[in-house]
Structure formats: C-alpha cells, structure tokens
Amino acid sequence: MSAAVARPGSISTAGQHANDEFIACWNDVLTPKWLRFRHLLSGQGKVHGDVAMPLLDVRPGQRVLDVACGFGESSIEIGQLVGPRGGVLGLDCTRAFLEIAEREREQAGLENVRYELGDAESHPLPPARFDLVFSRFGVMFFRSAVRALRGVHRALVPGGAVGLLVWRRLEDNPAWGIAKQVALEHLPAPQEASRTCGPGPFSWADEDTDRRMLHAAGFGRIDVFERIDRDICVGRTIEEALDYQVLVGPAGEIVREAGEEGTRRLPAIRAELAELFRPHLRADGVYLPSSTWIIVARK
Ligand SMILES: C[S@@+](CC[C@H](N)C(=O)[O-])C[C@H]1O[C@@H](n2cnc3c(N)ncnc32)[C@H](O)[C@@H]1O
C-alpha cells in the first residue's frame, strides 16, 4: 500500500483553491446547514449507499479514492473492506467536514484512511494509482463533472472502475419534489439552471447525459447503470422535516429567491406541507420515496 494513499493524521491541503466561489459556498453557506442536518443527509446517503456498495465490488488490498467524501462515512466503510493492505484517500473541498471525518477516522482506529482538502476538478492526483474511485452524491456538485472525471480517469489503474451514486429526476424524488411543488404554488420559479449541466443535486438525473459525460471523460465501458428506489427519512418530526425542506431542499431555493415575498408566504407553505407530510410520519420520522442511479464505469 502506497504511503501516498494511506498516511492518516493531519488533513493535507494541496491543490485547494480558496477563492473559488463554489468552494467558498460549501465552506461558508452550506456547512452550518449540513452540520445541523447531518443525521438526515448521512442517513439518506447510507440508505442508497448500502444498495450501491456491493455493486462496487470492493476487495481487500485495493487502493480507493472517495471523491467529495464529506464526513468520510463511505471512506471508513471502504477502509474496512479494503483492510490493512489496502487504503482509502478521501478528498473534499469543505474543511469542516474533513475535520469531523478525521476525528471519526481516529475514533474508528483506521490507519488505512486519510483525507485531503481540495477541489476535485483541479486536485493533483497521482496517475494510475487507484483501483476504484467512488463518489456518493458528489459529482453532481462539480462545476465541470467531465473535468473532474478526466482527472479520475488519469488516477485510475488500467481496468480500474469509477462508481457514482447520484439523484434521479425530481419527479421520481417526492422526498424533494413535494416541497418544491408546494413552494411553486405560492411563489414564482427561480431562474432555472440548465437541465443537464451546471452544479446541482439533479444535474446527473438524465441517463443519456450521464453516459455522454462519462464517455467524454474517457470511460468507454459502463458496467452498471441501475436505478435504486428507497424511502428516506426527511425529518425525525414534521417540524424538522419542514425546516429541512426550506433550508436544504429545492423548495428552500424558491423561498430564498423570492425575498420578502418568500418570507411572507413561508407560514402558508409550511402549513400545507405539514398536511402532506402527516400521512408519511412513522414512529421515528417522516419517510418519503426517493430515487438514485448507481453507475459503475471502467477505464
Ligand atoms: C451531498 S455532499 C456528499 C458528501 C458525502 N459523499 C456523503 O455521501 O455523505 C457533497 C459533497 O461534495 C463536496 N464537494 C462539492 N464540490 C466539490 C469539489 N469541487 N471538490 C471536492 N468536493 C466537493 C462538498 O464539500 C460535500 O461534502
């Protein structure tokens, strides 16, 4: 196992572009929301990640890159699968997430996982180093996913695989779509970003576009392109589900973009949404259907 992959301890910062507006947004604007709702975001990642993981075929001894690893949950899981002869490098652009990831790695006693702070599009990755690259809900947020995937392609050994877990269309994700629809009944739609490109949670929803992006990045062979449908928890209580939707989900963007009118309409949006969520309340929270793609492509 190369030391370049598996030296745990402090977080390396090579390649970090501190002035990039997207990276600044993750570090300044999104971090507090992500910390507040980590239990929901991580729970959702786990529900879909548990289905995706066996399709990645992780083996002992492998060298794995976890791109946009966030709190490092999948890095730790993969670290346990590859064992002491293998290693995991978790890469993310948000310092606060990696500090938590590093603390939890230490608590888990895993010596074969380490983290680097950097932009997935420009981070200097060693060529032909990794057997597998995984990204759980990461690639959708890159300004140019193709640029990042070209770097991933270079960093993979010949025959190595990249596994991507991404949200499918909003229409197939009532967990996000219901709140957006309610918000749109009260407020105008914000200026839509392009359906197929540009960062955002649903930018990898379209299968044809995904296949084209992977081909453009050099991945000639796609082994797995499968849909995963699971109910996910969007709040332990109705109140928390409402907070979550208007702070983190697409409904939040509509409310924010509408300015004062958004603030004025918020109580009505929350009241309507609470009624719609009530039938989905189980003993431990509000559960709604969600849908992802797991994609595995090979170099
Ligand atoms: C939805 S979170 C997913 C985190 C983690 N993979 C998980 O499943 O819990 C998206 C992650 O992408 C990271 N990210 C966004 N743009 C990035 C970039 N250009 N380079 C590296 N990480 C990025 C964010 O910091 C955040 O941790």
C-alpha distance from residue 46 to each of 52, 139, 275 (Å): 9, 17, 27
Lowest mean pLDDT among 26-35, 179-188, 228-237, 274-283: 26-35
Q: Answer yes or no: CATH 1.20.120.1730 is held by domain 21-171+191-233+292-298.
A: no
d(CA 248, CA 76): 25
Q: How many angstroms separate the Cα of 173 from the Cα of each of 34, 43, 145, 228, 296?
A: 20, 16, 22, 11, 22
Give the Å distance between the CA of 100 and the centre of ligand 1: 14
- Is the confidence at residue 7, as pLDDT, over 60? no
pLDDT in tens, 158-185: 999 999 999 999 999 999 999 999 999 9
pLDDT tens sequence across 238-257: 999 999 999 988 998 899 88
Predicted confidence band at 197 (pLDDT cuts at 50, 70, 90)?
very low
Cβ–ligand 1 distance for 90 under 6 Å, the answer no
CB of 292 within 6 A of ligand 1: the answer is no
Q: Determine what percent of the chain is predicted with pLDDT higher than 90.
A: 83
What stretch of H or E contains 224?
strand 221-235
* Residue 290 token pair: 């969600």
- Atom of ligand 1 minimally distant from the CA of 20: 19
- Is residue 186 predicted with pLDDT exceeding 50? yes
Q: Is 66 in the pocket of ligand 1 (CB under 6 A)?
A: no
Domain ranges for the chain, please list them.
21-171+191-233+292-298
C-alpha distances in Å from residue 113, one per residue of 14, 90, 197, 234: 17, 7, 32, 30
DSSP state of 26: I
Average pLDDT rounded to a whole number, residues 138-148: 95
| Cβ count near 192 (within 10 Å) | 6
Q: Please, is 3 exposed, middle or buried when counting C-beta atoms within 10 Å of its C-beta (0-12, 13-18, 19+)?
A: exposed
pLDDT computed for residue 3 by the predictor: 33
Per-residue pLDDT reduced to its tens digit, 103-134: 999 999 999 999 999 999 999 999 999 999 99
Report how far ligand 1's centroid is from the alpha carbon of 187 (Å): 29
pTM of this structure: 0.93
Least confident of 23-32, 68-77, 162-171, 234-243: 23-32
Q: For residues 91 and 116, what is the distance between their CA atoms, to the nearest angstrom? A: 5
Instruction: Give the ranges where 170-222 is alpha helix by DSSP (H).
Output: 174-186, 207-216
10 Å Cβ neighbour count for 74? Answer: 29
With a 6 A CB cut-off, is 240 part of the ligand 1 pocket? Answer: no
Mutate which of 93, 146, 164 for ligand 1 pocket (most atoms within 8 A of beta carbon): 93
Over the chain, what is the mean pLDDT? 92
In the prediction, which pLDDT does 195 show?
44
Residues facing 123 on adjacent strands: none
What is the residue type of 229?
Answer: D
* Tokens coding 260: 């004062």
